[in-house]
Structure 1
Amino acid sequence: MGGGAAGFFGAIACAEANPAARVLLVEKTGKLLSKVRVSGGGRCNVTHACFSAAQLVQHYPRGGKKLKEPFQQFGAQDTVRWFARRGVELKTEADGRMFPTTDSSETIAQALLEAARQAGVQVLLNTNAEQLTPLPGGGFAVRLTGLHAQTLTAQRLLIATGGVPKTEGYDWLRQLGHTIAAPVPSLFTFNVPESPLKELMGVSVPLARVVIVGEKLDYEGPLLITHWGVSGPAVLKLSAWGARRLHELNYTGTALVNWIPAHNEETLRQWLHAFRDENGKKVVLVNPLFGLPQRLWRALVEQAGIGADTRWSELAGKLQNRLLELLLRMPLAVRGKTTFKEEFVTCGGVVLGEVNLKTMESRLHPGLHFAGEVLDIDGITGGFNFQAAWTTGYLAGQAMSKPLA
């Protein structure tokens, strides 16, 4: 149940492994693979060039080491091969993200649709699973409503309904006895309504460090200044690792930005001392340092209170200290969050202790399997959430191709 990445991968894996099986894919809306189509700005970040399971698990705030064995069974390299066998070549970008060489998510969507068609998967659109009842002799009765209203019986079921933002959306799984980790948003940007950088919308730096004051939350990466605050991988990945704590804080606090994370206070003072000795005649405002964008450098210098014509040799120690503080610890008052484009990710879902991660099968109900974001698994940005969907979907589908014991 669920016509997204995990649901399709599971259905295809099951149908290919057991051509005699009748495989139905049920989708409550009229659209298939919606998230695949919008991912990566319409390019679809299929996976990440991280081919070691031990390294891959380090990119999952929820799931972590428990995913090592599943990734050993079906990892990023297996994803690359799966699509290659279906005529889709992937390319690796400098940051490790992998996209189809066509730079079009439609390439991925069509590959999945065609694989499902060839495997004989039957797709029911505009159809919702309203009730799921385990049967005494094994298997399930599923009451469908909508376009294909009926009651079906099935030996095995795959739940791949995606992440649900509200906890009551999991009530039907709780009724089956499963424990649900409360859903909260992950992968979001920071709103800074009183940002001193508002006029710099669109300016980015390739490496900055963001720290949440009073919390053990920090991350390094590219940073983008937006009209609502700050975004970019440094913020998105920090939001993923801190999803639960930031939710508890109501997305309010102070973020400190280090624009030059290669330096700490001691090394920066030494560097500036040496620079001043050799470049005393240079005007501070118009000579950006550390490769920082001109507009950002000017904003930092002006906020430090340094005059437009001040030369380094004339710079008072007090003003240099202010500049140093802004370079290493610029405070931004975070007051809320914004979803990153259309790529909403939820942390939370079915707790992994109640699932056999070799088969994605429920430990409470034989024949009931889970895949994708319905599980308490989520990764940072960069193709990791799709990889979790491919892996869990594939393992579930393989297991579902076999009859119940």
Structure 2
Amino acid sequence: MLFSFTACNGGKETGKTEDSAGKPSDSAKTEDTGADKEKPADTGSDEEVTLSLMVTTRPTTESKDFYLDWLPELVKEKYPNINIEVEQLPTDQYKQTVRLKFASGEGPDFFTWWAGLQAKDLVEAGYVRDLSEFPQLGKFKKEIADSYAFDGKNYAIPLGTSFLTTWYNKDAFAKAGITQLPQNWQEFLDCCEKLKQSGITPITAGDKQSFVIQFGMYQIGASEIYAENPNFDSQLFTGETKFTDPSWVSTVQKFADLYQKGYVIEDSLGLSQEQSRQAFLDGKAAMIFDGSFGYDALAKQGAVEFEKGIFCVPSNDQGKKFVYNLTPSNGIFVNSDDKKQDAIDKVLEYWFTEGTPLFEKWTTTTSDISCYDGVEDSRELIKEYLDRYKNDQSIYNLNNAWPEGVSDMMCTIFQDVISGNSSAEDVCKGMDSKFEELTR
């Protein structure tokens, strides 16, 4: 049974819709009968329809990938006339490419994107479709689904939650004499020093791809900023807070200290995310700042076998409040162009209806932590982590609350901090300047 997102009459949308910015690919064009040029293609027939899906680059594994393999295959089995072409790009190229495609009228039919203000410009430009009436939306935790809402309308189907975390080598910790996880910033520094003194590189980082800088920065910022002021981000918009406030300068400085003390692998600016992950797996460093989304890539064995664990960097001082990261992960957004909505509706309903083969494959292969009613995560490391911090305050990915562009500025200038050409104050001034530019 197909669903409709607006009131319908004879297959035509009667509700007011925004101007379309997307155009179908040549392979998806339908015959123009002149009878109704706005009517979506009828995929109930045998006519071939090709849908374009964009996702960030998938981790390399020996198993079939849900987006690259299972989704196109299972949809094809269910609907032989619907083809899904998947394009994947690294995160640092992905955002710009998606925006450029929409600006040129060639936006993807559906795609993954981030929550909060990261999606605001796409919504305001009319590029994405209101999914408020999607029948299965009520099956997702409301607080997560609402992370993709603007002016009371939901613009995405949430794929789950995730958290930024620190993966660590338990064997390396034991060798360095570390018997328990750090509970505050000084204890974390002590761990790094013990590892270094034992001849073990404490941390690896793929800073060549600047977006990974967020993985450590936001873990540190969680306690450093939001323990004292959970409303810091909303107050940015009223002028009550600024990125140049002491809590943000301290956050950036604490992160910079890890590099300046020699706790981060040499030439991190020459390593990609994948190379850094491999360095961790090969035992070349004891820790890596990453996330639950890196589970498939980091749970496997490299050149050296060792037991792995995960914890959140505690940037709090001794006796002070600890805050960890837990955030909505990506959601599925849909192009507002109506030419292929019938096919997209079928795919989404098949995907997110409990009990279908596609739903079962999604829930058993996803790296996200499910926010779908009745679906529990079976990964022991994930369950252990969430149980450990269940009584602590959590905070979303910090950039979810900022206009797009502020986090890019932060990461770019912090690369200069790593190379010794900028300071923590420079990072915060740059963020503040970009924020003012985007909100004035």
TM beyond 0.5: no
Q: Normalized per residue, which structure has more strand?
A: 1
Q: Normalized per residue, which structure has more helix?
A: 2
TM-score range, shorter chain: under 0.3
Q: TM-score, normalised by structure 1?
A: 0.22
Structure number with greater Rg is 1
